[in-house]
Amino acid sequence: MTIATTFTAALAAFLAAQGVIAQTTTAIPRWCGKPYESGSPNINPGGQLEPPKPSPTPLLYVQVEPRHSIYVSSEKTGSFIVDAALSKYHGEPYRNSTQQLGGPSQPFNNLFFTISLENTDQVLVSNNVSVNSTNNLFDFDISQLQPQYDAYDVVLYGASDDGNQTFTATTKLFYLPDKKTGSVTKIDNLNGGLLFSNNASNYEFIPFLAFGFYTSWGGYLELSLENVKTYYDLGYSAIHPVASYSSNASLIFDYLDELNLPFQYDMRGTYTNLTSVAEQVTMAKDYSSLLAWYTADEPDGNQDPFNATSLAYDTITKIDKYHPVSLVLNCENYYFDKYSQGADILMEDAYPIGINATWSQKWNTPCNTTYGDCGCDNCAGELQDVSNRLDILAQYEEYLGQSPRPVWAVPQSFDGEQYWDRNPTVDETWVMNQLSLNHKAKSIMMWTFPTLDDLATANSKQSKVVTKSPVLDFLTGAQPKGISVEGHRLLDVAYWIVDNQALISVVNLGYADSSSPVSIELPFAAASTASTPWGSVNWTLSGNALSVQSLDALATSLVILDLS
């Protein structure tokens, strides 16, 4: 090695640590910014998001957001979500005291606010929320606004009752002209789910959970409409055809319309070509089965230009604001703030089954946080890699002070490429999907179809349960909360409460049967078991505990309880 290359490597390492050159593609091939070819120098990839410095005293973080990502002119009622959270990272310092002229000092319990249009000062909501409360909903008459394609800029002015402490927050509100061709997809910003409307729903917005596969185009869908029908008949609620589409694409998209099989439109190979994006969006925007747009496939892994996803987003939404835009992130912690831009929905694709997380068989190098590619970035090669990735993406949004976007899981349903020694088993596939739902995934789109017959059948069974009432009502009607079970570290348990019922989801991450009794203490009062939509665990409800004598390895179970 010459002095010059040593110097260059040292300089590169220094600059990468500063985040200066991590963006440029150097001669060293990298994945998630890490060199992966044997013999490459070790270079810190940079771009790691760290928690912001916490404030020594809690800050008051006031936020406002429309309940739905878009409204259309046939709707008369809109709604805002108002948060007055205490945060250690974001917001303004505040004093817990107010004093009206001449009066005694009082605690600062309520934030009084107005929500109005920035341009005209027209007030849409005037009310108050408790300090340290989130997800407060305020309906307003949206039909007083003129439908338009551009966003309305909205501002919230908040103050303590004495007016001494003031807070502002802004958001954008979309009130679009109604659309009677094709479909409309909204995001419910409160619970993260989708609302989908088209001719099959009689243009009503119905709660929707996508459960399906990225599906081969050239190797499957394109070959015959029978193949499309086979997929549909398995009972998946949605499909993600993998680009690139051939000249007979319209035949297949027309058929998806006929079946009412909602699809995600993939522009992975073309999303940086804005001319092409505009052409494709114009071509596909009026299909009645169009669910969402999909731009970048692992832009972070590939180190695509930082601005690529937002440029594509702006191009798409100028032509079509009626559908959300999604992309999938592959890296665990590599310029999340940059690559997550330009997405209404974030997807993650941690594939942990059958990998060697510490040694790359493909490249013959070790894998660690700065070096190597083992097929699953910074993974341990265990089921928890999936839930950890979902949790961490939500954590990053909190670090950045962003309102959480829906995250979807892309669970593994394949093997090969010298990273993955084997497919998941049937139990593992069920575990990864249900584990994702426990950790707030709002849809499941597995990689990839065609898959093994037993996985196609197993996922079909699960899809038919989680995409339909009653389970769907919980998954889209609330956010899950976790329950930790003492003495059973490998049990992942979550619950959703809607109206007078709770859905409990239990996932055993253990690869061995648990022979000791399991007792889950519920943090709410339950009266009786209403149904067990999934699994064969024989739970007993007694008091506020769900118990069972033993639990099979990798068991998955869904139980619905009536609350007392």
Q: Which residues bind ligand NAG (CB under 6 A)?
A: 42, 86, 96, 99, 101, 107, 127-128, 131-132, 162-164, 199-200, 222-225, 246, 248, 251-252, 257-258, 273, 275-276, 279, 288, 305, 307, 311, 356, 358-359, 366, 368-371, 538, 540
Residues 556, 504: Cα–Cα separation, whole Å: 11
CA 348 to chain centre: 8
- 157 burial (CB, 10 Å; 0-12 / 13-18 / 19+) is middle
Nearer to ligand NAG, 257 or 298 (CB): 257
Sheet of strand 501-508: strand arrangement: 481-483, 491-498, 501-508, 556-563, 526-534
* Six-digit token string for 525: 């009062």
CB 132, min distance to ligand NAG, A: 4
Residue pair 386/447 in contact (Cβ under 8 Å)? The answer is no
Give the residue from 218, 289, 235 showing the smallest Cα distance to 258.
Answer: 289
- Pick the closer one to ligand NAG by CB: 284 or 347: 284
What residues are paired with 441 via a beta bridge? 407
What separation in angstroms does the CA of 266 have from each of 282, 289, 351? 14, 14, 20
- Helix runs in 183-325, H state only: 225-233, 249-259, 274-284, 299-302, 308-319
> Which lies closer to ligand NAG via its Cβ, residue 108 or residue 447?
108
| Minimum CB distance to ligand NAG, residue 459 (Å) | 24
CB nearer ligand NAG, residue 139 or residue 141: 139
User: Closest approach of Cβ 408 to ligand NAG, in Å?
Assistant: 25
Q: Closest approach of Cβ 53 to ligand NAG, in Å? A: 20
What is the nearest approach in angstroms of ligand NAG to the Cβ of residue 338? 10
User: Quick one: 131 or 502, whose CB is closer to ligand NAG?
Assistant: 131
Whether the CB-CB separation of 375 and 396 falls below 8 Å is answered with: no
Shortest Å, Cβ 358 to ligand NAG: 6
Q: Minimum distance from CB of 249 to ligand NAG (Å)?
A: 9
Nearer to ligand NAG, 108 or 336 (CB): 108
Q: Which is nearer to ligand NAG, 183 or 330 (CB)?
A: 183
Nearer to ligand NAG, 146 or 528 (CB): 528
Backbone phi, psi, residue 225, to 5° = -65, -25
CA distance linking residue 10 with residue 546, whole number of Å? 58
Amino acid at 145: L
Least separation in angstroms between residue 221's CB and ligand NAG is: 8
